[in-house]
Amino acid sequence: MRPVPGPATVTVAVAGVEFGWGSSGKLSAVLTALRERSGRPLRLVGLASGLGRPLLAGQGIERWYDLPAAAGPARAAVAEVVRDERVRAALVVLDGAAAKALEGAGVPTVFVDSLPFLWTEGDRDALPLEVSAYCAQRCAELPDACRGVLGSVRDLRWVEAVIGSAEPVPARARRSAPRPGGRALVNLGGLHAPGLGDWTRYPGIVVPAALAALAAYGVHEVHVAGNLPRELVERLAAGVFHVKPAAAAPMTVTAGALPHGEFLARLADCEVLLTSPGLTTLLEAGSLGVPTVCLPPQNLSQIFNGRFHSRAVGADVRVVWPSAVFAEETAMALRAGGEDAALRVVYDGIAAAYGAGDPAADCASPDPYLAPGAGGARPEVVAAVRDGVLAALRTAGRGADWGGLTRGTGTNGAAQVADTVLAILARTPLPARPGRATAPPGPAPLLRPAAQP
């Protein structure tokens, strides 16, 4: 009997915006759901997404392609990848330019928008409103300024929170409030963003402030996770941040990036999470019921996320920057001209807060709770952030509805997006297989596959 051939392998292109790690976390969650739900083997190729490639290392992406920075050459490069790799569908998280280029090359594209509450008319040109499927993640609130833009989407589909699924939560992690003496996880995310100059300034201010607050609260063990500068990790590992603990036992500090699965495991096992308010992390923490404090925002969307989180859990557990750094309402008012205008206020304020400090003066600070090693951070800013974190920890210690944010959005978004991709694959024809005839030579390739991480 002749063997029955298996289902044909199909190629899907994936891409995530070069802005922190949230898009890569969402790609990871959707790709896991795709493999679980697909009835045929899938072959994955990646575009750009250099910042997030380490987080996606376990997702079986066969090849990565770097893209030119300029828009025109990037579109041509995407068209070349589509042709050479015989791409049948694409999955893109928040990278509007990549989604437009893929659709322009004839590839049905599923675009995942985890920040639909952020956009105004000033962002219209950057959004891929005409993609084959535009999956907007449900949000706690949709401002009126966003409705006109989203109303222009050709195929808008609201999905639940797009997050990874964790293993069952240990009973010890299901607490209503963090207690002194336990473990803490500090998360800073990907840190990089387009248009951001020195991305080490944010951790240079926030990490010493958070560690000082945790020591004052009585925490004994801390891991600092995120895309941290090498020198900061080395200083943490060497114990440079000597802080005065509230209890007799010293506070143990470790640091370094964590694979997504390990991050979720540590999250489930910690007493409290202190995180820059990236939405994916807040939703993952909410799905596990972990007490969470929002550190000061790194960008515009995190202002929204921190506010949404505090309202949803019913407790003021977010830390804001001192007004001398920047006023949130100023950034919010400027967003009518597009996200970039508001980001400038945030970035410039953080840069100014970091640039006036003297590392030697920091180490000689008479304040017993101010961790040395803050680099160029202004000591008064570090102290203000430390006080804000400690106040938020004490508020969290009184308990809150830690699952409130996730309960409002649902948690099945990864499967819903995966089903959208599979539906597109089911209705698009298989690409023609290369024939035996020798084709005439074409132009030199625009790009080569990227070096593997």
pLDDT per position in the chain (453 positions), as tens? 444 444 678 999 999 988 877 888 899 999 999 999 998 899 999 998 777 777 787 788 999 999 988 889 999 999 999 999 999 999 999 999 999 999 999 999 999 999 999 899 989 999 999 999 999 999 988 889 899 999 999 999 999 999 976 555 454 445 677 877 789 999 998 777 777 777 788 988 999 999 999 999 999 899 999 888 777 777 766 655 555 555 556 788 888 888 777 888 899 999 999 999 999 999 999 999 999 999 999 989 899 999 999 999 999 999 999 999 999 999 988 887 888 888 889 989 998 898 743 433 333 333 333 343 344 788 899 999 999 999 999 999 999 999 999 998 999 999 999 999 999 999 876 544 433 333 333 333 334 445 433
Dihedrals φ, ψ of 117, to 5°? -75, -5
Place of tokens 């997030």: 52
DSSP code, position 366: -
B/e letters for 126-152, b = 16+ CB within 10 Å, e = fewer, are ebbbbbbbbbbbbbbeeeebbeebbee
Cα–Cα distance measured from residue 292 to residue 318, given in angstroms and rounded to the nearest whole number: 9
Q: Where are the alpha helices (DSSP H) in 96-247?
A: 96-104, 144-150, 201-217, 230-237
**Per-residue tokens: 143:** 């401002």
Q: Which two tokens stand for residue 341?
A: 């205008």
Q: Whole-angstrom Cα distance, residue 119 to residue 96?
A: 12
User: For the chain, which domains are there?
Assistant: 10-165+411-427 (3.40.50.2000), 171-406 (3.40.50)
Query: Which residues, at least 6 apart from 364, have a Cβ–Cβ distance to it below 8 Å?
Result: none
Output the CA–CA distances (angstroms, integers) from residue 241 to 200, 254, 368, in the order listed.
17, 11, 12
Residues constituting the chain:
453
pTM above 0.75, yes or no: yes
- What are the backbone angles phi and psi of residue 158, rounded to the nearest 5°? -85, 130
Beta bridge partners of 245: none
Bridge partners for 89 per DSSP? 12
| Residue 364 CB neighbour total at 10 angstroms | 9
Alpha carbons 60 and 57: distance in angstroms, whole number = 7
Buried b / exposed e along 36-48 (16+ C-beta atoms within 10 A): eebeeebbbbbbb
